[in-house]
RNA sequence: GUGGAUGUAGCUCAGCUGGUUAGAGCACUGGAUUGUGGUUCCAGGGGUCGUGGGUUCAAGUCCCAUCUUCCACCCCA
């Protein structure tokens, strides 16, 4: 026997039933994006490695799926490099394309390349799969969909507020209780400045980001391990332990880091966002979290992360502002802000909470039984009429046994079965069976159509 | 990349301290029922026990390696 077929680690097939659920998520998200006047674009699954490399940090480069060149790609490698185990050089020689790691960097590339035809500020959305060579685990896949919305070419904080409104709108519709966490990169910068350790900013941010997960003590421990002095850790304490409501946090932050220009700017920006949100009808909790860092180091302003209240699965949505993302591609000083919704995690949450709507409408409303050659030719005409009246209908392709055809209809959860046999052909009265109730009626076609549509 | 668990029929699993021909439920196919499904009854097909090596008279069972899936870390949607 042939070997069992399989799919690559961390990838999944989606059955028709799963796709109904997935499309519910995508449709909801897409509708909101469009409702808020964002335009759709798509970019290729693969990008040049030069576009992707170095944009996600060292860790990100490791997680990039690389594609080997076509043709005789071995020609370009020298034996010396292989023997020396010079992985970077060898990969560079044999691979110049990779699968996209997210949608933001390809978007930045797109903006730079099409800058002359884009109307700024450019509000776009993009729903496509991305790939990461990560080790799969709960809520983490190697192929998954991101739903990105970004505004590029506007520094206004109204954009942040709009993103928060969209996040609230989408999760409200999906009936997931979420908390939207906000921070600002400038606050983190301010913190690093105040404690006099600006070069340690990455260490500090990624460490205090874990505070909810590992606790205060472990955070201190890790900070020590990362080479922070006892003195600076002491200075960090009031910031790490900062609690209370948003306004209280902002006031404290202002006191602690307001003397730095970055810090005071960050606090002001968050204040403005919070003030605007107050006058709007937002149902999700919006919390300022000075420990929120997020990994990607291109964020320069607002940082946003959305967590489900009832399921522990990591963030469902995340993003932030990046002042100069297009700079690396040769278009400086274009500010953008955006978030990305993780459709696969949202799926897992809806599944775990069992709150998918059960309006799973059957694909087929009516199935026509095939009684044989003459009858099926006639049925084909009925099929045409039914479909033209907006009914999803299908004719069983083979003149199989009635039982088999009924079983097919039953398994597919078809709503009605129409039986156009010899007798019906003569009289023009057709038997229509309701598969849920088992009731059967005999009527003319026009009446049946209104029955099905009704 | 690091650590732990796992793998038996299409699916969910049983198979004790190694011992004839590896089981169940569900699913599948056929029949009871040649124009009526979902219920019931009967019959049937399907497994080189993840893969490769080793120990043993004997391996689904023990050992090693490798892959898969899952969980945690790193990181992240």
Query: Is residue A312 scored above 90 in pLDDT?
Result: no
**Any domain includes A325:** no
- For A85-100, the DSSP string reads T-HHHHHHHHEEEEE-
pLDDT higher than threshold 70 for residue A359: no
Which has the higher per-residue pLDDT, A431 or A136?
Answer: A431
pLDDT > 60? residue A75? yes
What is the Cα–Cα distance from A219 to A209, expressed in whole angstroms? 9
Contacts of A116 (CB under 8 A, 6+ apart): none
Residue among A45, A44, A59 at smallest CA distance from A135: A59
Name residues 25-44 of chain A with a Cβ under 7 Å from nucleic strand B. Answer: none
Rounded to the nearest angstrom, the gap between the alpha carbon of residue A118 and the centroid of all alpha carbons in its chain is 24
Q: What is the pLDDT of residues A235-279, one digit of tens each?
A: 888 888 888 899 999 999 999 899 999 999 999 999 999 999 999
Question: Which residue, A427, A443, A422, is CA-closest to A378?
Answer: A422
Same domain? A143 vs A28: yes
In a domain, A292, yes or no: yes
Q: What is the pLDDT of residue A3?
A: 55
The enclosing H or E element of A201 equals helix A201-208
Query: Which residue range(s) make up the domain with A416?
Result: 366-453
pLDDT at residue A296 above 60? no
CATH number of domain containing A33: 3.30.930.10
Q: Say yes or no: A276 and A413 in one domain.
A: no
Higher pLDDT, A102 or A195: A102
Residue A372 belongs to a domain = yes
The tally of domains found in chain A comes to 3
Between the alpha carbon of residue A406 and those of residues A114, A132, A373, A419, the distances in Å are 55, 45, 18, 10
CA-CA distance, A54 to A92, in Å (whole number)?
A: 13
Angle in degrees, CA A102, A108, A113, rounded to 5? 130
Nucleotides of B under 7 A from a protein CB: 1-3, 28, 30-31, 33-38, 47-48, 67-77
Using left for φ > 0, alpha for ψ between -120 and 50, and beta otherwise, residue A349 falls in alpha
Specify whether the CB–CB gap between A111 and A333 falls below 8 A.
Answer: no
pLDDT mean over A199-205: 78
How long is the CA A7 to C1' B29 vector, in angstroms? 28
Given a contact cutoff of 8 angstroms between Cβ atoms, the answer to whether A320 and A303 are in contact is yes
- Nearest-Å Rg of the Cα atoms of chain A is 29
Distance A347 CA to B14 C1' (A): 33
CA of A9 to C1' of B58 (A): 37
Query: Does residue A86 register a pLDDT over 70?
Result: no
In this structure, what is the dihedral angle of CA atoms A230, A232, A233, A235, given to the nearest 10 degrees? 130
Longest distance between any two alpha carbons in chain A, whole Å: 96
- β-partners of residue A123 are A151
Do A393 and A421 sit in the same domain of this protein? yes
Q: Residue A346, SS3?
A: helix
pLDDT band at A390 (very low <50, low <70, confident <90, very high): very high
- Give the mean model confidence (pLDDT) for residues A214-230: 81
pLDDT at A85: 63
> Is the domain of A351 the same as that of A286?
no
Residue A74 CB contacts under 8 Å (≥ 6 apart), including other chains: A94
A267 is a domain residue: yes
The reply to whether A47 and A157 lie within a common domain is yes
Residue A225: beta bridge partners?
Answer: none
Whether A295 has a pLDDT exceeding 70, the answer reads no
CB proximity list for A324: less than 8 A, separation 6 or greater: A300, A332, A333, A334, A335
- A322 occurs within a structural domain: no
Nearest Cα to Cα of residue A432 among A405, A364, A443, A423 = A443
Q: Among A271, A254, A263, which Cα is nearest to A191's?
A: A263
| Nearest CA-CA partner of A203 in A322, A293, A315 | A293
Whether A51 is in a domain gets the answer yes
CB neighbours of residue A253 within 10 Å: 25
Indicate whether A25 and A145 sit together in one domain. Answer: yes
* pLDDT average, residue stretch A395-412: 92
Asked, for residue A277, whether it belongs to a domain, the answer is yes
> Do A158 and A198 have their domain in common?
no
What CA–CA distance (Å, rounded) separates A292 from A257? Answer: 16
* A194 and A128 inside one domain: no
Beta partners for A443? A430
Q: Which residues, including other chains, have CB under 8 Å from residue A371's CB and lie 6 or more apart? A: A379, A399, A419, A420, A421, A422
- Burial (CB < 10 A; 0-12, 13-18, 19+), residue A373, is exposed
pLDDT in tens, A314-328: 789 999 998 888 988
A440 touches strand B (CB under 7 A): yes
- A392-417 mean pLDDT: 92
Angstrom distance, A245 CA to B70 C1': 39
Pair (A118, A190) in one structural domain: no
The band of A44, judged by pLDDT with boundaries at 50, 70 and 90, is very high
Provide the pairing of β-strand A366-368 with A416-419.
Answer: parallel
Q: Which helix (H) or strand (E) holds A38?
A: none
Share of chain A above pLDDT 90, in %: 57
Domain shared by A93 and A213, yes or no: no
In a domain, A317, yes or no: no
CA nearest to nucleotide B70 C1': residue:
A137
With beta carbons less than 8 A apart as the criterion, state whether A263 and A253 touch: yes
Query: What pLDDT, on the 0 to 100 scale, is given for residue A368?
Result: 96
Better pLDDT: A147 or A200: A147
A155 sits within 7 Å of strand B by its CB: no
Q: Where are the alpha helices (DSSP H) in A119-229?
A: 158-174, 185-194, 201-208, 211-214, 216-225
pLDDT of residue A216: 79
* CA–CA dist A55, A334 (Å, integer): 17
Whether residues A297 and A425 share a domain: the answer is: no
Whole-number pLDDT of residue A393: 95
For the ranges A122-126, A176-180, A203-207, the lowest mean pLDDT is seen at A203-207
Query: Residue A1's pLDDT is what?
Result: 35
Which pLDDT value is given to residue A362?
Answer: 66
Size of chain A in residues:
454
Chain A residues 263-302, Cβ below 7 A from strand B: 294-296
- Indicate if the pLDDT at residue A20 is higher than 60: yes
Claim to verify: residue A29 and residue A119 sit in the same structural domain: yes
Q: Are the beta carbons of A193 and A263 closer than 8 angstroms?
A: yes
State percent of chain A over pLDDT 70: 96
- For residue A404, the domain's CATH number is 3.40.50.800
């Amino acid at each position: 026997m042939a070997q069992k077929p399989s799919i690559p680690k961390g990838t999944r097939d989606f059955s028709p039933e799963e796709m109904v659920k997935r499309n519910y998520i995508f449709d909801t998200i897409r509708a909101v994006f469009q409702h808020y006047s964002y335009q759709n674009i798509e970019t290729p699954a693969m990008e040049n490695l030069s576009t992707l490399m170095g944009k996600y940090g060292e860790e990100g480069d490791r997680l990039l799926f690389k594609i080997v060149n076509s043709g005789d790609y071995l020609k370009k490698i020298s034996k010396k490099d292989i023997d020396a185990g010079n992985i970077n050089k060898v990969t560079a020689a044999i691979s110049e394309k990779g699968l996209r790691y997210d949608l933001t960097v390809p978007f930045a590339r797109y903006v730079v390349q099409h800058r002359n035809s884009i109307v700024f500020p450019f509000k776009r959305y993009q729903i496509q799969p991305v790939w990461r060579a990560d080790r799969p685990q709960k809520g983490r896949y190697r192929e998954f969909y991101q739903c990105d919305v970004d505004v590029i070419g506007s520094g206004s904080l109204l954009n942040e507020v709009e993103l928060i409104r969209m996040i609230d709108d989408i999760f409200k519709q999906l009936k997931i209780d979420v908390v939207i966490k906000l921070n600002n990169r400038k606050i983190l910068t301010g913190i690093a400045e105040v404690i006099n350790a600006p070069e340690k900013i990455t260490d500090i941010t990624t460490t205090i980001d874990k505070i909810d997960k590992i606790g205060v003590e472990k955070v201190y421990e890790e900070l020590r391990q990362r080479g922070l002095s006892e003195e600076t850790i002491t200075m960090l304490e009031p910031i790490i332990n900062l609690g209370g409501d948003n306004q209280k946090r902002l006031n404290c932050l202002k006191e602690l880091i307001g003397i730095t220009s970055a810090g005071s700017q960050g606090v002001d920006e968050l204040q403005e966002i919070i003030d605007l949100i107050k006058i709007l009808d937002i149902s999700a909790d919006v919390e300022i979290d000075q420990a929120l860092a997020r990994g990607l180091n291109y964020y320069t302003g607002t940082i946003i992360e959305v967590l489900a209240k009832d399921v522990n699965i990591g963030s469902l949505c995340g993003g932030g502002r990046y002042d100069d993302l297009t700079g690396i591609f040769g278009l400086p000083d274009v500010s953008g802000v955006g978030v990305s919704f993780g459709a696969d995690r949202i799926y897992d949450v809806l599944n775990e909470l069992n709150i998918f709507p059960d309006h799973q409408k059957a694909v087929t409303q009516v199935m026509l039984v095939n009684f044989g050659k003459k009858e099926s030719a006639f049925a084909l005409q009925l099929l045409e009429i039914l479909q033209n009246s907006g009914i999803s209908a299908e004719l069983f392709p083979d003149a199989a046994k009635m039982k088999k055809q009924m079983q097919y209809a039953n398994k597919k959860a078809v709503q009605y079965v129409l039986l156009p046999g010899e007798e019906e052909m003569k009289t023009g009265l057709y038997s229509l069976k309701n598969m849920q109730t088992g009731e059967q009626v005999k009527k003319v076609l026009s009446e049946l159509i209104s029955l099905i549509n009704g």
